[in-house]
Amino acid sequence: MNKVVVITGASSGIGRSLALTFHNYGFKVFATSRNIERMNDMLEMGIKVLELDVTSQDSIEQTIKGIVEVEGRIDILINNAGITMFGPAIEVPMIDLRTLFEVNFFGLIATTNQVAPHMINARKGIIINIGSVAAWNGMPFGSSYSSSKAALHNWSDALRMELDPFNIKVITIAPGPISTGIIEKATPLLDHIMERSVYRAIASDINNRPQMSKSRQVPVQSFADFVLSTIFSRRIPANAAFGPGSVILRFLSYLPTWLSDYILKKQFGLAKLKSIIQKADKDNRPSNPVDLSNNNNNNNFNQPDIVEVGKEQSTE
């Protein structure tokens, strides 16, 4: 009997590659996404395509219920749906930050909560949560994404122990940069933020942030093959990491805080910005620092107004 696999965020990128890989290996795949119009070719291959929006409780409940009614079970759940975001921690619009957490964290929990009871009744199942190596470090100008993934990792660790009595395995897989196109979807918001950012003086350094991730990307098919091999391991791991980016960030996480801070501040232009600000403070008013919050001054460090950009990101 073919195992039933449910994959979220499967219309593109990692999710699509996972759906094709598991299908080709003989699994019965339910590829879900809120953008199913892009998945017609998968239907033609025999993959089951269903609409599922991880930010909608009704959508999650209806889709999972429909799968269980037809198949009687769900053997493997792969929580993959996610978006990314770049920008200074204090300048990312709250509406966008909340959207990111709804997709990357709360949506994953809501989906798992619908699937887990069926696995508990069956006394078996595998839940794979796609995390990120970004969860290991608070990276400058990537705090939104890394914090959402850190929350996922911690929740997944607790879930793994709580579901162990029911013979359900929970795996957190943390990939480094993968070639999926997700980074390109995040750049418009970053460009908008930088137009009026207090960090404009190092805009070129910040704009290089997405490009640095792209330079270390590995093919998405390699990651899909890695995920497949993980579930066939003699001992299924609790956590797994993939890609060269995982080595670099793991190394950083072991360094003393002062040293990792020094490296990252230099890499992302923050050390340079500090020198610029100190010089400006000294030149303008030796006894009074440059006012970074006054939009009426003439320096280059004006605090931006809060601008709601809206929910522009894709969930895949």
Give me the active site residues, please: 145, 149
CA distance 258 to 143: 18
Burial (CB count within 10 angstroms: exposed 0-12, middle 13-18, buried 19+), residue 107: buried
Name the residue among 87, 125, 111, 149 with its Cα closest to residue 10: 111
CA distance 34 to 314: 9
Q: How would you classify residue 116: left for phi > 0, otherwise alpha for psi between -120 and 50, otherwise beta?
A: alpha
CB 79 within 8 A of CB 173: no
| One-letter amino acid of 300 | N
CA distance 264 to 11: 34
CA distance 156 to 285: 51
